[in-house]
Amino acid sequence: MTELRTAPAEPVDPEARRWHPAWGVAAVGFVALLGAAAFRSVPSVLMDPLHAEFGWSHGTIGFAVSLNLLLYGLISPFAAALMDQFGIRRVVACALVLVAAGSGLTVFMTQAWQLVATWGLLVGVGVGSMSMPFVATITGRWFVRHRGLVTGVLTAAGATGQLVFLPLVSALAHEHGWRLPALVVAGAALAVVPLVLLFIRDFPSDMGVVAYGAEPGSAVGLRTTARGGATRALTVLARIARTRGFWLLAGGFAVCGASTNGLVGTHFVSAAHDHGMPPTTAAGLLALVGVFDVAGTIASGWLTDRVDPRYLLLTYYTLRGLSLLILPSLFAPHTEPSMWVFVIFYGLDWIATVPPTVALCRELFGEDGPVAFGWVFASHQIGSAIAATGAGVIRDVQGSYDTAWYVAGALCGLAALMSIVIRRRVAA
């Protein structure tokens, strides 16, 4: 009798047989980051309505936005460390409640200091706890395979949320006054809390799996002993501050923040309105920047897995600087073809800098990479805060934003140079 033999079955990758929970964590993180960025961006659209109702200057309103941006950055490294100590779910859920409180209370304000206390302080602390180090924490714990790509997707959520909701906020403010958008933000923040509590887990080992793409038995994704939140953040800062790479990354990222969130994100609508463009049209252009940012940032994440991150940063900062130098000549009452070109070009580059910066922090600082990136991101927001206030003061004094655009373009050239001279760690 002839013995029938069958070929041995091919080994099946366990990740191919079932949905890995890392994707669920990333999906909820995407929603939280999308919302956090949207919540933070609202004051940029409300600048003119607040000026019209209360008579507050652009510089005064810009100061509240600056505090928001500054706290968004300064809280970040402590939030990353607190996520190590108390868990991602607790930190993000509490942050969303703070955002809801800060946004909801603005409907009762009558004085400028109250805008600073609510949208500046409360919302700033809240969104700072869900900032880009949150991305580094999720990708560092939950992903080995496609880490750069997932970083790009989550980063796109953080940048795009800031822009894609601007037309809705602008339309609501135009039709119903600025208070309704503030209440919508409060309600949206609270709506995300149940998703975070239900679907976010702190470590893959909490669900009996390893990080996506990790080998069985790998230490990636294993629950670690909690280390002091604030103490660890300061300890990491003391260590990385002695390195040249940190200061080069931080300096470049400060320019990144100044040239995006601080300047364009805060003042583009007002600058366009100065040239006769309706605020709703200008907000729509910013939203389109956000749409193209999705493609640009995801592509940047994909490239970060394959290309030297320093070369990517050199390219991004150089192209951004050139686009900002020509922007003042593009403003007009109507959207000309040249402005469409700027929106597409600038959108692709909006925050594509994050994936290569995260990768360099992880390479240079190892397991402290997420906290280190928190401090680098703090510099991003310091730059944002300076630009948000500085551009408002330039507008009040000169009656135009032109000088602000030119300064930002020149600084982008400096950031390009700082990025390319970073020394990478040589693998043993």
Partner residues linked to 212 by β-bridges: 143
For 190-214, write each residue's pLDDT tens digit: 888 998 888 888 888 877 788 888 7
Q: How far apart are CA 287 and CA 264, in angstroms?
A: 12
pLDDT of residue 44: 64
Residue 402 pLDDT more than 70?
yes
Q: How far apart are CA 96 and CA 88, in angstroms?
A: 12
Instruction: Place 16 in a pLDDT band, splitting at 50, 70 and 90.
Output: very low
pLDDT of residue 394: 92
pLDDT of residue 404: 95
pLDDT of residue 5: 45
For 25-61, write each residue's pLDDT tens digit: 888 888 888 777 666 667 666 777 887 888 888 777 8
Q: How far apart are CA 119 and CA 68, in angstroms?
A: 7
Q: How far apart are CA 142 and CA 22, in angstroms?
A: 6
Partner residues linked to 143 by β-bridges: 212
Against a cut of 0.85, is the pTM above it?
Answer: no
Residue 301 pLDDT more than 70?
yes
pLDDT of residue 422: 95
Helix, strand, coil percentages (3-state) for the chain, rounded to 5, are 80, 0, 20
Segment 352-368 shows an average pLDDT of 89
For 238-280, write each residue's pLDDT tens digit: 999 999 999 999 999 999 999 998 899 888 988 998 999 988 8
8 Å CB contact between 388 and 262: yes
- DSSP line for 173-231: HHHH-THHHHHHHHHHHHHHHHHHHHH--S-GGGGT-PPBTPPTT-STT-------HHH
For the record, the structure tokens of 412 come out as 């982008």
Instruction: Place 223 in a pLDDT band, splitting at 50, 70 and 90.
Output: low
Encoded amino acid at 84, one letter: D
pLDDT of residue 377: 85
pLDDT of residue 224: 62
pLDDT greater at residue 165 or residue 198: 198
- DSSP H helices, 219-336, are 229-240, 244-257, 266-274, 279-304, 309-326
